[in-house]
Structure 1
Amino acid sequence: MGLPKVGAAVGRIVATAQNGLEVIRLGGLETGTQPAPFRVVETEKMFRLRRYFPDDAGDGASHIILIPPMMVSANVYDVTENNGAVSVLHRHGIIPWVIDFGSPDHEEGGMERTLTDHVMAISRAIDLVRGIVGRDVHLGGYSQGGMFAYQTAAYRRAEGLASLVTYGSPVDITAAMPLGLPANLVVPGVEFLGDRVFSNIWVPSWLARTGFQLADPVKTAKSRIDFLRRLHDRDALLPREDQRRFIEQEGWVAWSGPAVAELMRQFVVHNRMMSGGFVIDGDVVSMSDITCPVLAFVGETDDIGQPVAVRGIRRAAPEADVFESTIPAGHFGLVVGSTAGRMSWPTTAEWILWRDAKGPRPEAAHEMDASVTSGSGISWANRLTYGVGQVAGAGTAVSKELIEAVSSIQRTTVAVASESVRTVPRLFRLGQIQPSTRISLAKLMSENEKRTPNDELFLFENRVLTHDQVNTRIDNVVAGLIECGIRPGEHVGVLMDTRPSALVVVAALSRLGAVAVIVSSGDDLPEMLTLADTNVILTDPNHLDVATAVSDRVLVLGGGDQRVIDRADGVSIVDMEQIDPDKVRMPVWYRRDPGLAGDLAFILFTKINGRISRWSITNHRFAMSAFGAAAAAGLSNRDTVYCLPPLHHASGLLTTLGATVAGRSRIALSNGVDPERFAFEVRHYGVTVVSYTWSMLAEIIRRDDFDAAQLATVRLFMGSGLTSGLWTEIREALPKAKVLEFFATADGSAILANVDGNKIGAMGRSLPETNNVRIAAYDTDTDQLAVDRDSGFIREANPGEVGMLVSHAAQKFDAAGLVLRDVFRSHDRWEVSGSLFRADADGDLWYMGSAQGVIRTARGVVYPAPIQNALSELPVVEQVAVYGVRHAGAQLAVAAISLRADGPSLTPTMLRVGLGELEAADRPDIIWVTDSIPVSESFRPIATGLVARGVPKPGPKVWYRDSEGRYRRYTASVAKTIDWAWPTVQDETVDGVVDVAE
């Protein structure tokens, strides 16, 4: 009885020793399996293209190209003889092709490969296979290979692709990070690694393997223990030996450092597969460009490509038909092993045949539901059902839940701390500025170039310009300006469309130390040039005729346009594109970015009541606006700001260009406000912040086909001039996006912002580290600040009292307007803004209008801004203009309204409700509906033409305010009897006039 047991034990020891020796000598057990046959049909620097089963002619067959992840060998699709991807697909009549990137550490230039190199290589392989087979092909990829597939399909706009098939490939990466780690903890570390570590080093294969195994250390340890315990039983080990050797030894290749850095930066830190706006070979690409069908395999216990992250494709590619197939497996089990051989690859084959009209729709594929956007998407039941390794993963999920619970409790603190990291350095820098401090737009751009030269700066018409490229262009334009005789301090007019070239010109003048006089085309252009002492204009080809009509010297910048070439004479018209910057001899006086805080940097213009005023902006004022706006908007290098305002508007120059440069954000430029392209460009560029002025967003928000889901990436709208009505509409249409409304005097002396956005219509408070502001009591009868009789100083307005906004003139060198001393106390200095405000009980400021725009009626003053905001809330109103018209020695307050197309008519009930919160005396005397109200280039309503028409004539679309504040139809008979000084009327029934007031 004892001898058989001893013999069995001895046999077990001998078998263990023999098998162990084989593992030590060969790295594993010899299984006798053979890889599937293939032929390399194309070899290029980046890849070798394998065509499997070359003896099969594949006449009429479907074809799929499979992409491995960067860190995994191309053999991942042929690990096991029976269950390997290529074998299963071929058994179903499909010809598999596999892209083999090789091992970068053994390829020439391999460790310098970028993400773009991989995508371009895949795109090239698609063209090669299509050329061979003569039909569209399917594209598939596992893990990061699937991400490559998505990126390539987006880059190609799905051209030549019958469908996409991905396996555990995350799209919304920050929604569910690998291993369930909290994104707010991981992303900063990933950003550091991408910028400072992987951009300079590469990842060896052993480290890639170790990283994968550490993703589930319990499962890895369990597998090794099971292998050692069964080392005596060769028959039990052989079925899984090829898979074990692949995972533990043979399946890993090195990662190129630049490719890893780019992956981290674009798709983890910025999550641009989800938001859009990633860059491939200099082109802007968005997942919304994918239009071919998609099948995404989701691992029910995949802790690397977590289900929620994988299902992000449904929202990222709204134009595609997206299906999913859920597999009871982890990340690796999706493509390798018995489960993959039984489920993943047969379903893939059925999908391909269905899409090529050769078979029915696979039962395991169904339309994707992406309604769950938080958590991992892995249920506890699945974790418990599918193994000890997954239970260990569940522990990770528990950790995540605990962290998120703590985070929710401390959310406010974390948010404040996070914002402080970004904003405190900016605001601290503002506080350190002295008159002799070197600071300017160009200097900020130089600093950004030095910090991140290869990061994108401008996005325009599918083109991308990096900080390095933009600064090189700026330096070239500076050389051209010097060749044209422009010197530091000279005033140069800039008349250009808001394009990259215009921003480059403004920055070049700043780099040279000249003053950019930013003008707009129109009848006021000659007066602007005179006010700014400007004798030379720098323009683009589109404005050449306008510029030459008002100036004897015009410099033209813009792409070799034939209109310029034909007219350039080198004297009155200079084509700057013909100047070779390398041949320009830079003078000894030239100093890069010489601008001091006290130097004049820009000249803007404002027009109030038909009068043009010049506003001078120093570098200090520019910096205050730029840093203040960037801090208020929380801008960072993760933001893409969509710039809609014209450059000559303060919002375009200061709170868009200035803030994005200060925040190191990307700037996406448009070809003007085009409702047809707006949603597309937001998705395409990955826009997170939209800048605006006045009513330019109205056409977009009010379109019948407006789809809020297309603007899901937008977190903030920032700008100035937004009416309360449009503000309310934006909030209702996009509740997750905030509105940051700024008020800035054109010279930047006062900068207010409604940072929390809770009080619609309020201008908020002054930004930290910008000039302090107060509301000085103001006598509208005398147009003077009100003096306190006891102290002799100016009295500060009480809450609710309308007064003059004044800003503390802390820096004497950049005060551009009227500066008064000894205002609220001895020796203080305050700059008078000319704008009237009131402060509410919380200290928030509300704009009432300019002092010049006050309407002086017989009953007292009427402020236009509250009327405009109140009427803008009416759902039938398109535009509102409120102005005063002279009549009988006083003014009448008139509100002109244009109605929305195809909307209902305006009724007295609407007027009563809309103006209900205003006191009777604060309402307009006359309201009339006009066909249209013209707007400026910045979409500000222009009332000049309306004022010239005088008191509106009686008619069915005109109402007047009676003595009780009600609105009645303004008829011819009423016009004869009304006394505007004492607004009462005769009994209307006597005159046969219908009373329409309600």
Structure 2
Amino acid sequence: MDYLNRMAPSEVLTHRLLERRAAEAPDALFFSFQNESFTLGHCNRMANRMARNLQEAGITTGTHVAVFMDTSAEYMYLWMALSKVGAVEVPINTAYRGDVLKHVLHTCQATACILDDRFIDTVDEASFGFAQFKQVFAAPGRASALPPRGQHLASLLAPNDESNLTLLPRYDDVTCIIFTSGTTGTSKGVMLSHHCLTGGGLIYAEINDLCSDDVLMNFLPFFHCAAKFLTIATLACGGRMLLQPRLSISTFWHEVRAHGVTNFMGVGGICNMLVSRPEMADDAKTTIRTIYAVPDPADIHKELERRFGCTVTTVYGSTEGGLSLFRSVSDAYRPNSCGRPGPYYEVQIVDADDNPVPVGTSGEIVVRPKRPFLIGSGYIGMPERTVKTWRNLWLHTGDRGHADADGFYYFDDRVSDSIRRRGENISSFEVESLVSKHPAVSEAVAVPTASEIGEDEVWVLVVPRQGQTIEPEDLLVHCSRYMPYFMIPRFIEIVTDFPRTSTAKVEKFRIRASGPDAKAWDREAHGWKVTREGLFSMDGQLVVSFGSSRSKAPSNLSANE
């Protein structure tokens, strides 16, 4: 269904979708979360109440609000409320801490912060005692732990006018800043307009041909565009959403059958995990109609469709560039292709001088929209990087690809030094910087290496300082104290030097091509485990906690890491 083209750009705002749906069917189910159901009308009323409380607290049009929260119904209300008042949401990866979090908080220009109670200490340390924030709201919990000027999040849900606000942000206003990993530098905050963010969700609904009887499973965190796209697509098609705090492979198909799920995102290695489980006679006896697989590996594509009786769609996109290439339910399948340009974007393959290359030749993928403000509006606080990335009226993705004579596009490789692991983009620069904090490390290199379940594993090579030695276990513990769980390397190798050019630059392509051999220490092979809760030694002891009181020895890491 052509959702986006049916709407004028001025109407493509997420909260406007909610308001229209709530007016049409206030008692219709919008989403379920932890055995509770929430109607469209209820969600809109709570968002309106929260929006007015935000305004009274001084959070209004243009206010940058750092949000450090887990998935919850309150987060849903907050997201919609921030959209209604014209504030700029900065949803932050809840695994961030230390220097990575300091960089994000400094760059995003947030003057307000809304967070769950369990993140207070983490944000307090990274923000120098919440000094940059004029307003702070924390979820109910340890009252004595509230930071200076802090208030309970519950105060934002205090009784207030529940009618729609008359203030209408413009479709080209920035509504959200999503931080995506740096590839040759630090993480970058992508400024997304209402039209860009909401349009992405509408395009998702089109790709998967969603309609009012669809049930979308959403287990992705709201600091990624993907979770927001699923929510927006639910509003667009008039279906409902099963909202979950995280993915559990062990209970996945039970949840699908219990809730009648028809669509989900198979990002990262999720599809590989699903087909790696033993085949069951009733695999195809589910309500699943479409799986949006990114990537869509040719070696498991047919097995996914055969085993689970569904259609697999796919896309090539980015936070900056939107969903520019895709294969919808009605498009032909071509192995390893990420589809063809949709109706809303132009796509080219260019050389180093931005000249188009011949068919079949590999070059950089560049994108531009056919509708206004349907790609990112730049990187916050990084004007030079913005100009470089958006040069010559094209968004330069930093990815290499090629096209065939029939107009199908193929992703070849990353032009830059990023690593993608478990659906997370990881900056090799940030990994190297944090590894180099170890006092015995002279130089560090981080590169991707293929994972058994798809995407990459993090492989770190280090040269020790002269006269010093480093044990892999010691470096692993060090990394666990500084990095988000998904960034912590699997492979660690101690070397005397790296392959270099004549100007002493490290030739990472040679390292990547060789792959880790027997000299590389593999934490999984040695029994060490990393979960969202912490680092566990080979004997199951918690060595480094990531701040959760629920830490315990993991049992099946591959499904839930």
What TM-score, normalized to structure 1?
A: 0.40
| Counterpart code for 1:832 | H
Contact in 2 for aligned 1:599/1:618 (Cα 8 Å): yes
Partner of 1:642: 217
Measure the CA separation in 2 of the matches of 1:450 and 1:469.
11
Residue 847 (structure 1) aligned with residue 411 (structure 2): yes
Find the residue that maps to 1:582 and give its secondary structure: coil
Pick from 345, 348, 356 the counterpart of residue 774 of structure 1: 348
Partner of 2:151: 574
Higher helix share: 1
Find the residue that maps to 1:846 and give its secondary structure: strand
Contact in 2 for aligned 1:604/1:649 (Cα 8 Å): yes
**1:833-855 per-position Cα deviation (integer Å, ceiling 9, x unaligned):** 2222111232111112332139x
Measure the CA separation in 2 of the matches of 1:724 and 1:732.
13
Q: 1:594 to 1:731 in 2, by over 3 A?
A: same
Give, in angstroms, the shift of residue 719 of structure 1: 4.9
Partner of 1:562: 141
Q: 1:952 to 1:592 in 2, by over 3 A?
A: farther
Measure the CA separation in 2 of the matches of 1:701 and 1:473.
40
Partner of 2:290: 716
Measure the CA separation in 2 of the matches of 1:821 and 1:549.
35
Partner of 1:600: 174
Contact in 2 for aligned 1:494/1:516 (Cα 8 Å): yes
Residue 529 (structure 1) aligned with residue 105 (structure 2): yes
| Counterpart code for 2:101 | L
| Counterpart code for 2:403 | A
Question: What residue ranges of structure 2 are gaps of 5+ in the alignment?
Answer: 379-385, 433-443, 455-460, 462-471, 499-509, 520-561
Measure the CA separation in 2 of the matches of 1:585 and 1:503.
16
Measure the CA separation in 2 of the matches of 1:803 and 1:940.
33
Pick from 248, 251, 256 the counterpart of residue 677 of structure 1: 251
Measure the CA separation in 2 of the matches of 1:800 and 1:943.
37
Mapping of 1:259-298 within 5 angstroms?
Answer: none
| Counterpart code for 2:121 | D
Residue 618 (structure 1) aligned with residue 193 (structure 2): yes
**1:317-368 per-position Cα deviation (integer Å, ceiling 9, x unaligned):** xxxxxxxxxxxxxxxxxxxxxxxxxxxxxxxxxxxxxxxxxxxxxxxxxxxx
Mapping of 1:92-107 within 5 angstroms?
Answer: none
Measure the CA separation in 1 of the matches of 2:485 and 2:318.
16
Contact in 1 for aligned 2:114/2:153 (Cα 8 Å): no
Residue 803 (structure 1) aligned with residue 363 (structure 2): yes
Question: What residue ranges of structure 1 are gaps of 5+ in the alignment?
Answer: 1-421, 779-783, 786-793, 824-828, 855-863, 873-878, 901-913, 915-925, 954-962, 973-998
Find the residue that maps to 1:504 and give its secondary structure: helix
Mapping of 1:821-836 within 5 angstroms?
Answer: 829-836=393-400
Partner of 1:428: 5
Pick from 629, 637, 641 the counterpart of residue 204 of structure 2: 629
| Counterpart code for 2:357 | A
Partner of 1:444: 17
**1:423-481 per-position Cα deviation (integer Å, ceiling 9, x unaligned):** 2xx23235x42xxx243111111111112211110111221111001111111221221
Contact in 2 for aligned 1:438/1:594 (Cα 8 Å): no
Measure the CA separation in 2 of the matches of 1:968 and 1:622.
38
Contact in 2 for aligned 1:454/1:467 (Cα 8 Å): yes
Q: 1:580 to 1:946 in 2, by over 3 A?
A: closer
Q: Sequence identity, in percent?
A: 19
Mapping of 1:342-421 within 5 angstroms?
Answer: none
Measure the CA separation in 1 of the matches of 2:5 and 2:173.
21
Find the residue that maps to 2:168 and give its secondary structure: coil
Q: 1:520 to 1:726 in 2, by over 3 A?
A: farther
Find the residue that maps to 1:526 and give its secondary structure: helix
Contact in 2 for aligned 1:643/1:692 (Cα 8 Å): no
Give, in angstroms, the shift of residue 773 of structure 1: 1.4
Residue 491 (structure 1) aligned with residue 64 (structure 2): yes
**1:272-307 per-position Cα deviation (integer Å, ceiling 9, x unaligned):** xxxxxxxxxxxxxxxxxxxxxxxxxxxxxxxxxxxx
Pick from 718, 738, 745 the counterpart of residue 311 of structure 2: 738
Give, in angstroms, the shift of residue 487 of structure 1: 1.3
**1:836-894 per-position Cα deviation (integer Å, ceiling 9, x unaligned):** 2111232111112332139xxxxxxxxx99xx9xxx9xxxxxx9x999999xxxx9997
Residue 543 (structure 1) aligned with residue 119 (structure 2): yes
Measure the CA separation in 2 of the matches of 1:545 and 1:708.
47
Measure the CA separation in 1 of the matches of 2:407 and 2:166.
43
Contact in 2 for aligned 1:750/1:773 (Cα 8 Å): no
Give, in angstroms, the shift of residue 519 of structure 1: 0.7
Contact in 2 for aligned 1:695/1:940 (Cα 8 Å): no
Partner of 1:658: 232
Aligned-residue RMSD, C-alpha: 4.3
Measure the CA separation in 2 of the matches of 1:598 and 1:968.
45
Contact in 1 for aligned 2:449/2:515 (Cα 8 Å): no
Partner of 2:263: 689
| Counterpart code for 1:660 | T
Higher strand share: 2
Contact in 2 for aligned 1:439/1:596 (Cα 8 Å): no
Give, in angstroms, the shift of residue 509 of structure 1: 0.4
Between 1 and 2, higher relative CO (CA 8 Å, sep ≥ 6) is seen in 2
Q: 1:971 to 1:494 in 2, by over 3 A?
A: closer
Task: Give aligned pairs, total.
Answer: 450
Mapping of 1:467-506 within 5 angstroms?
Answer: 467-506=40-79
Contact in 1 for aligned 2:54/2:156 (Cα 8 Å): no
| Counterpart code for 1:802 | S
| Counterpart code for 1:567 | A
Measure the CA separation in 2 of the matches of 1:450 and 1:818.
42
Measure the CA separation in 2 of the matches of 1:515 and 1:539.
15
Partner of 1:980: none
Give, in angstroms, the shift of residue 767 of structure 1: 2.2
Q: 1:732 to 1:543 in 2, by over 3 A?
A: farther
Find the residue that maps to 1:753 and give its secondary structure: strand
Q: 1:592 to 1:835 in 2, by over 3 A?
A: farther
Mapping of 1:72-111 within 5 angstroms?
Answer: none
Contact in 2 for aligned 1:738/1:757 (Cα 8 Å): no
Contact in 1 for aligned 2:217/2:261 (Cα 8 Å): yes
Contact in 2 for aligned 1:695/1:726 (Cα 8 Å): no
Find the residue that maps to 2:81 and give its secondary structure: helix
Give, in angstroms, the shift of residue 513 of structure 1: 0.6
Contact in 2 for aligned 1:526/1:550 (Cα 8 Å): yes
| Counterpart code for 1:797 | V
Measure the CA separation in 1 of the matches of 2:307 and 2:405.
30
| Counterpart code for 1:651 | A
Moved more, 627-636 or 716-725: 716-725
| Counterpart code for 2:415 | A
**1:568-627 per-position Cα deviation (integer Å, ceiling 9, x unaligned):** 47x5321031456435899xxx94461212100110011144631111111121232122
**1:533-589 per-position Cα deviation (integer Å, ceiling 9, x unaligned):** 11322122343333333341464465xx432x34347x5321031456435899xxx
Find the residue that maps to 1:659 and give its secondary structure: helix
Measure the CA separation in 2 of the matches of 1:943 and 1:757.
39
Measure the CA separation in 2 of the matches of 1:971 and 1:952.
17
Partner of 1:459: 32
Measure the CA separation in 2 of the matches of 1:453 and 1:731.
36
Find the residue that maps to 2:20 and give its secondary structure: helix
Measure the CA separation in 1 of the matches of 2:236 and 2:200.
10
Residue 510 (structure 1) aligned with residue 83 (structure 2): yes
Measure the CA separation in 1 of the matches of 2:169 and 2:516.
60
Find the residue that maps to 2:338 and give its secondary structure: coil
What TM-score, normalized to structure 2?
A: 0.69
| Counterpart code for 1:472 | R
Give, in angstroms, the shift of residue 668 of structure 1: 0.5
Find the residue that maps to 2:5 and give its secondary structure: helix
Contact in 2 for aligned 1:834/1:850 (Cα 8 Å): yes
**1:68-98 per-position Cα deviation (integer Å, ceiling 9, x unaligned):** xxxxxxxxxxxxxxxxxxxxxxxxxxxxxxx
